[in-house]
Homo-oligomer: A and B are copies of this chain.
Amino acid sequence: MTALSIGRGVTLGSAEELEAALRHIGATRYHSLHPFHRLLHGGKLNKGQVQAWALNRYYYQSTIPIKDAVVISRFRDRATRVEWRHRIEDHDGEVGSEGGIERWLKLFVAVGLDEGMVKREEGILPATRFAVDAYVRFVWDKPLTEAIASSLTELFSPGIIKERVSGMLASYDFIDEETLSYFKPRLNQAPRDAEFALAYVKQHAKTPEERRKVCEALLFKCDVLWSQLDALHHAYVLGGGIPPGCFEPHEQTYAVGKVA
């Protein structure tokens, strides 16, 4: 038995069956189930490990508005573009007003990372980059309904965010409410966005085959999130070795994956 029991005997004959399948994927494959998250939220990581998480996660986070711009670029339908634009606004903010990415940077400062380093994308794990870049490529390459469907992990994010905020606040003395200010707005933003995306795929995937593709897009996205945690877990928790050129928590400076 594996997590993907959906693989056998599931029918996708209606929009309701599609929604049930998507929710089952979330319940069995969302990265909230990954051991690294249990450690993070349970206060079992040291500061260096939290730094590694924040540094790598930022590459994902800061790529989301780029991904969303690609999605927008593919729609000739103005109404969908306008709806999707919220997502970029939520992350990038406005001139003079902070967006999600600015709020995320507060977390770096709190955990002792240098903001400039973060923005230069130094020291992140190759697996982070490959997974995140695969996500951007996915929304560029795939049919529109699948591009939309790949965002559906947001259906499941309020749960993990609540766990993260309460767990990290309780566990780490370098974390406070202000540090985690990225997450609170996401509790409202993510469900609104996910609701639109869910309605979209339920309406536009009209055949069992198209619904299967929607499920595969969500599985793909779960893989994108999961593999990022695998890489963190390997390098920074299990002692599998930090890949050459990547962030070394115990050093003030570290080599970067580029030739200076």
Contacts and interface: CB of A to CB of B under 8 A. Distances in A.
Interface of A: 2-8, 10, 12, 21, 28-29, 34-35, 125-127, 129-131, 133-134, 137, 212, 215-216, 219, 222-224, 226-227, 230-231, 233-235, 238-241, 243-245, 248, 254-260
A230 B243 contact: yes
Nearest to A248: B2
Contact of A7 (B126, B216, B259): B259
B126 A257 contact: no
B212 A244 contact: no
7 shortest interchain CB distances as A-B pairs: A126-B223, A3-B244, A234-B234, A130-B130, A2-B255, A4-B255, A126-B227
A210 to B, nearest CB: 12
Contacts of A131: 126-127, 130
Given A4-B257, A126-B131, A245-B29, A233 B240 contact: yes
Nearest to A125: B227
Contacts of A231: 127, 227, 230-231, 234
A259 B29 contact: no
A34 B241 contact: yes
Contact of A223 (B5, B235, B243): B243
6 contacts: A2-B245, A2-B254, A10-B260, A126-B223, A216-B259, A230-B240
Contacts of A224: 126, 130
A8 B3 CA distance: 46
A7 B256 contact: yes
A6 B258 CA distance: 9
A248 B239 CA distance: 22
Contacts of A125: 227
A5 B255 contact: yes
Contacts of A255: 2-5, 7
A244 B35 contact: no
Given A131-B126, A224-B126, A245 B219 contact: yes
Nearest to A1: B255
Given A130-B127, A134-B133, A257-B223, A4 B243 contact: no
A1 to B, nearest CB: 8
A243 B227 contact: yes
Nearest to A126: B223
B235 A238 contact: no
